[in-house]
Structure 1
Amino acid sequence: MAACLRPLFLAIISLLMISSLTRSSEGAGIAVYWGQNGNEVSLEGACRSGYYDYVNIAFLVSFGSGQTPELNLAGHCIPSPCTFLSSEIEVCQSLGIKVLLSLGGGSPGTGRGPILASPEDARNVAAYLWNNYLGGQSSSRPLGDAILDGIDFDIELGSNLYWDDLARALSGYSTPERKVYLSAAPQCPIPDHYLDTAIKTGLFDYVWVQFYNNPPCQYTSGDPSKLFASWDQWAPYPGVNKLFLGLPADPQAAYSGGYIPPEVLISQILPVVQSYPNYGGVMLWSTFYDQNYSRAIRPYVNGDPLTYTTKSVKKSHAVA
């Protein structure tokens, strides 16, 4: 009997392995923000850690409406340009990591926030980003000759107008040879004040929702119900392609809560969110705070097909 069952057992294991590999190829992984603390690991060091699949260089804090574009990378390079990062970006990309430039941020910094004055202004900003950070040409590229993979929208200040126009203009630069990837980092309350219209274009490859600093829709100690209810709303939301769970990597990384201990994330949260077909992974703020968090959760972000079956996950979600 055992000899007869062995081929069947091997076939099942093979299918489970294929399922796991397929999930990984669909892009489930860890995204992180880098650039807002001069004491954090270098960009190359973050990529070589093996924990991240996407790195957002943060932030281009002001642009548009006649403003001189300002790249603020805290203590890494003041002022820009930061052309030494070009070789580090290329190392990250050689490791299969997508590197994006993040627009905006949640701190006022030295500017008045990004403001787009009109659809034409949005198209001009897209041209600036294309020529200075993406596949175009400029004599003054702030990050050097490296070509970034795309643009991240983390708009939390300034105007809430014309971000959809910017997304369309940037998407228009994609070619069959080189895609311009777009991501968005809205707050978890729906609709997001700044990015709702842009997200609904459906042009964003990744939406990493900030489930922190937002008590109505974040995890609180021992109670994931608000987080689950918000995830239920975001998963089918118009324009959301790949949905990521945005979290602080340390309690100190969030001023209004939302931190989830890694053991709780692994045992209670990931089994639920992974059951949704557009689950994309986890986003962390930020490399400075991420001392051991990504290392702890990395093996579980893609899900274990032996443990996280759709049936058992949905049952546990119903109980919660």
Structure 2
Amino acid sequence: MPPPPLPPRPKTPRIILYHQTHYTSSKEYISILPLLTENTGTTHVILAAIHLNNPPGNIHLNETPPDDAIFETLWDEVLVLQDSGIKVLGMLGGAARGSFERLDGSEQSFEAYYCPLRDMVHKHKLDGLDLDVEEEMSLEGIIRLIDRLKADFGQEFLVTLAPVATGLINQRHLSGFDYQMLEVLRGGVIDWYNVQFYCGWGSMADPQCYDLIMAMGWPPEKVVAGVVTNAANGSGWVGIDVLVVVFMELVQKYPGFGGVMGWEYFNAMPGGLGRPWEWAENMANAMAMGRAW
């Protein structure tokens, strides 16, 4: 049986923000609505981070069950963004280990952990899942998970992965499996890769690291360039003025450039805590200027 056709790609580069810090240190809720109301050009928001804990069904969004009252406003805002065309995904995994180990076992174990995750995604009407595998996982295990998500939610359900940049050029990385082999076997149903060009795994201070990935044969429309949005969010922060120039060049150099991802929203520069949406505005302007260059 031939692989399913590639999903349609956006006409403009994606502008993606992860949203993990939902409250400030003083317990003030951080609204994501300005990403819509300020006309920032944001295309996707990824809620972080979903963790599968023991026993099966013990799911947390960060440190709290996703149905807790603390998330009521967040879920309401998610619906507003979705109604206006911004896709909202959940991020599974990340730096906290265990979720993918629990999904990489026997069929019985997989079903026990996967089914509550499926039900949570369905209940909160997420548009997709971002699989941030930062622990050892088998190639067979990640394929089983991807296949099951597409089977249960349909081909329109977004499935993305979040490798570090070295993972796309067969150097040391965090996930265990071979990303190039995964792309060969399941590239037709993987929508794109949110690639981490920071924390020593790559850099967006210039185009060289992205160019190297392109030289390996990766399609530009599937390689989203991920950066930290504030020096406090991880090493390898690159100032907004430099990023604008680099992304203008990448948009001009690679037709179909996949876009840019930022970790994370709440304190994104240059606006910081008061106006974090300005990061997305700057990225949208860079994409537009690159196309007009």
Into which bin does the TM-score normalised by the smaller protein fall?
A: 0.7 to 0.9
Specify the alignment match of 2:3 in structure 1.
Answer: none
Per-residue deviation at 1:99? 0.5
CA 121–198 in structure 1, closer or farther in 2 if over 3 Å, else same: farther
Query: Contact conserved, 1:33 with 1:284, CA < 8 A, in 2?
Result: yes
Paired with 1:170 and 1:71, the residues of 2 have a C-alpha distance of: 19
Paired with 1:246 and 1:277, the residues of 2 have a C-alpha distance of: 18
Q: 5 Å matches for 1:105-254?
A: 105-107=94-96, 112-115=98-101, 116=103, 117-118=105-106, 121-122=109-110, 125-134=113-122, 141=123, 146-157=124-135, 159-160=137-138, 162-175=141-154, 179-190=156-167, 191=170, 192-194=173-175, 196=179, 198-200=182-184, 201-202=186-187, 203-215=189-201, 217-220=202-205, 224-233=207-216, 235-236=218-219, 242-254=222-234
Paired with 2:288 and 2:182, the residues of 1 have a C-alpha distance of: 28
Match 2:59 to one of 29, 54, 70: 70
Higher relative contact order (CA 8 A, sep 6+): 2
Per-residue deviation at 1:234? 6.5
TM-score, L = length of structure 2: 0.75
Query: Contact conserved, 1:57 with 1:99, CA < 8 A, in 2?
Result: yes
The 4+ residue runs of structure 1 with deviation greater than 6 A are: none
Specify the alignment match of 2:19 in structure 1.
Answer: 34
CA 274–59 in structure 1, closer or farther in 2 if over 3 Å, else same: farther
Query: Contact conserved, 2:204 with 2:227, CA < 8 A, in 1?
Result: no
The answer to whether structure 1 residue 55 and structure 2 residue 45 are counterparts is yes
Over the aligned positions, Cα root-mean-square deviation in angstroms equals 3.1
Per-residue deviation at 1:96? 0.5
Query: Contact conserved, 1:29 with 1:302, CA < 8 A, in 2?
Result: no
Per-residue deviation at 1:193? 4.1
Per-residue deviation at 1:72? 2.8
Equivalent position amino acid for 1:242 in 2: K
Paired with 2:112 and 2:12, the residues of 1 have a C-alpha distance of: 31
Paired with 2:279 and 2:10, the residues of 1 have a C-alpha distance of: 23
Per-residue deviation at 1:126? 4.4
Paired with 1:293 and 1:66, the residues of 2 have a C-alpha distance of: 39
Per-residue deviation at 1:165? 0.8
Paired with 1:122 and 1:275, the residues of 2 have a C-alpha distance of: 43
Other structure's SS at 2:166 match: coil
Per-residue deviation at 1:35? 2.3
Other structure's SS at 1:283 match: strand
Paired with 1:49 and 1:165, the residues of 2 have a C-alpha distance of: 40
Query: Contact conserved, 1:28 with 1:301, CA < 8 A, in 2?
Result: yes
Equivalent position amino acid for 2:190 in 1: F
Paired with 1:30 and 1:103, the residues of 2 have a C-alpha distance of: 20
Specify the alignment match of 1:104 in structure 2.
Answer: 93
Paired with 1:273 and 1:187, the residues of 2 have a C-alpha distance of: 21
Q: Deviations over 1:1-29 (max 9, x none)?
A: xxxxxxxxxxxxxxxxxxxxxxx942522
Other structure's SS at 1:157 match: coil
Equivalent position amino acid for 1:208 in 2: N
Paired with 1:34 and 1:121, the residues of 2 have a C-alpha distance of: 30
Specify the alignment match of 1:299 in structure 2.
Answer: 285
Specify the alignment match of 1:312 in structure 2.
Answer: none
Per-residue deviation at 1:212? 0.6
TM-score, L = length of structure 1: 0.69
CA 89–268 in structure 1, closer or farther in 2 if over 3 Å, else same: closer
Paired with 2:217 and 2:110, the residues of 1 have a C-alpha distance of: 26
